[in-house]
Structure formats: C-alpha cells, structure tokens
Amino acid sequence: MNTGEPSETLRSVPPAYLDAHWVVGFVDGEGCFFVGINPHPEMSAGYHVLPEFTVVQHQRDVQLLHRLKQFFGCGVVRANHGDRMCYRVRDSEHLRARIMPFFEQHPLRSKKWIDFLKFRKALLMMARGEHLTPEGIQRLRALASTMNTGRER
Amino acid sequence: MNTGEPSETLRSVPPAYLDAHWVVGFVDGEGCFFVGINPHPEMSAGYHVLPEFTVVQHQRDVQLLHRLKQFFGCGVVRANHGDRMCYRVRDSEHLRARIMPFFEQHPLRSKKWIDFLKFRKALLMMARGEHLTPEGIQRLRALASTMNTGRER
C-alpha cells in the first residue's frame, strides 16, 4: 500500500534490552535517592532510618519499571500517586549489594550524582550501625536534610 | 582524617562524556517530541506546522542541556517555566538530519518511542511539502492530536 515509505521500516515496538548506560540516563531523569528519618519509639535511638531508591513513571510505561526490577535483581513495582507507578528498593542489603555498586561503576551525569554520594554515605553509616546511636542519627539527619534540594520528589 | 572511608574514593564530579545509550535513557525520561499546528494567515494552507524536540531540566542541571546540544550538534538552550531550562531543536533540517537518524539508530525504550514514530512521520510529510496543502494539514492535525497522550508536556 505504501511501499518505499521510510516510516514503515521502523519497528513499532522498541527492543526490551536495557543497556547499563540507558539505565543511568533514565535514572538521571526519573530516579530519586532518598533517606527518610522518622521518629520511632521502638528503635534504640528513637528514630527509624529508611533509605530508598525509587523511579516513578506514568503507568503506560510500567513495563519499563518491571525491566528495571529485572535489571537490578531486586525491588518492587508499586502504585504511586494517581496514574503513576513506582519502582522501589528499600531493602538495605539490596541497596548496598546491588544499587550502590552499580552507580559506583556507572556514575550519574546530573546533580543527582551528589544525592547518590550522600545516599551511599548514609548506607555506609548504617552498615556500621551508626543509625542506632543518637549521635549517628544527628549526623544522618544533617546529611538527609541536604538531599533532594532544588527538585521535587 | 577519615582514611580508608570508601566514600572518599568516589569523585564528586561525574564524567562529562555522554554515551549514546545514556542520551536515549535521559530522553526516555525527560524528552518530548511535539508537533504544534497553529493558524497562520500567511501560510498557503492557513496553518503553521512547528515540530520540536525538547528536553526540560531544572536549572541546576543546565550543563547537561548544553552537553546535549553539543552531542546533537544543533539546537538551543533556553529558559523554560520558572526554574526550568530547556534544550530545544526546531529547525526542520536539524530535526531531519540529526535528531531523527539518532533515534532511528537508538530506539527509545518507553512509550515515547510511539511519539517519536509519529514525529518522524510528520517530518517526512513536511519534507514532501504536505504541510502546504489543506489535505496535508488535515492529516498532520490528526497525527499530532494522538501524540503526547497520557503524559503532561
């Protein structure tokens, strides 16, 4: 019907494979490194520290979030606000063993790199148990307060 | 002071080099392919067709937009709304000669791929002069109306 039309030569479904550099670019755009610190009477220092790595996406691209989950081999895909879905990693072991080494080897190009460095610092502090002492909590709160500035979550 | 601390071993400034796959991932997150069609009494078919490729970013990462401009070898970096900056390519020749071939060779992974295919179709129609006829404008308006659905600009 429309032979020789250049637009017919492109596949309508893009390849499923995610390149590591693609993941970095996508996270530079859509990712978030966050350290939540909330009062919690049952914790020894009175606070619960919850680091999380998230990527939010419109539900029409939820399959990309599932591919990210597969790529990192950890995390969950959950509903976010409204028509948004979210890929999320909260497990500290997974954050330290999978998310952290990946971005150490594949640096983000945006200012999110600074957030990642602080996020990584928080994970290392937690690995040393510093979140279980009042002094450690003070340091973690100071660190977390400087993250994700100039950008909505 | 803090020798042996792993966080000291990472550079605080990420590398400037942009990998092609990174660009695809970043555009999957932050890019937009748009075809504006506005009434214009001086155009032969009564409408002006304005395709544009944009990437919007918080001003703190304006240097990334300049690197995109360098990467594609065309376009401009401009102020967008509020504290946002924008990398934008509107020149039809640049869109056809630089933006289109890049994404043909490096497919987007998100549903933005579908927008790109429609955008590309519009560029090819315009290269054939179809935007100068009322019938072509009708087809372009129908095409443009199906783009960027399910996602704010």
Interface predicted TM-score (ipTM)? 0.89
Q: What is the DSSP letter of B18?
A: -
Q: Which helix (H) or strand (E) holds A57?
A: strand A47-58
* Subunit contact A27:B22, Cβ cutoff 8 A: no
Rounded CA Rg of chain A: 19
The whole-number pLDDT of residue B4 equals: 43
Per the listing, tokens 């945006």 go with A110
Per the model's pLDDT, the better-predicted residue between A136 and B14 turns out to be A136
In the predicted structure, residue A4 carries a pLDDT above the cut 50: no
Nearest residue of chain B to residue A21 (CA atoms): B22
Which of A8, A11, A26, A100 best probes binding to B when mutated, by most B CB atoms within 10 angstroms?
A26
Residue B24 one-letter amino acid:
V
- HSE of A31 in the Cβ direction (CA atoms, 13 Å)? 29
Which residues from B are below 8 Å from A7, CB to CB? 117, 120-121, 124
A23, A57, A83: residue with CB nearest B25: A23
In the predicted structure, residue A151 carries a pLDDT above the cut 80: no
Contact A135, A46 (CB under 8 A): no
Percent of chain A with pLDDT over 90: 80
B5, B22, B113: residue with CB nearest A25: B22
Contact B25, B107 (CB under 8 A): no
Percent of chain A with pLDDT over 70: 90
* Subunit contact A64:B109, Cβ cutoff 8 A: yes
Q: How confident is the model over B43-68, as pLDDT tens digits? A: 888 899 999 999 999 999 999 999 99
In the predicted structure, residue B3 carries a pLDDT above the cut 50: no
In the predicted structure, residue A115 carries a pLDDT above the cut 90: yes
Contact A129, A140 (CB under 8 A): no
Strands (DSSP E) found in chain B: 31-39, 47-58, 76-79, 84-89
The whole-number pLDDT of residue A75 equals: 98
Cβ neighbours of residue B59 under 8 Å, at least 6 residues apart? B83, B84, B85
* Subunit contact B27:A25, Cβ cutoff 8 A: yes
Which of A43, A52, A51 lies closest to A132, judged by CA? A43
Q: How confident is the model over B81-104, as pLDDT tens digits? A: 999 999 999 999 999 999 999 999
Nearest residue of chain A to residue B23 (CA atoms): A25
Contact A51, A90 (CB under 8 A): yes
In the predicted structure, residue B1 carries a pLDDT above the cut 80: no
Contact B35, B143 (CB under 8 A): yes
CB atoms within 10 A of CB A140: 22
Strands (DSSP E) found in B5-152: 31-39, 47-58, 76-79, 84-89
The whole-number pLDDT of residue B150 equals: 44
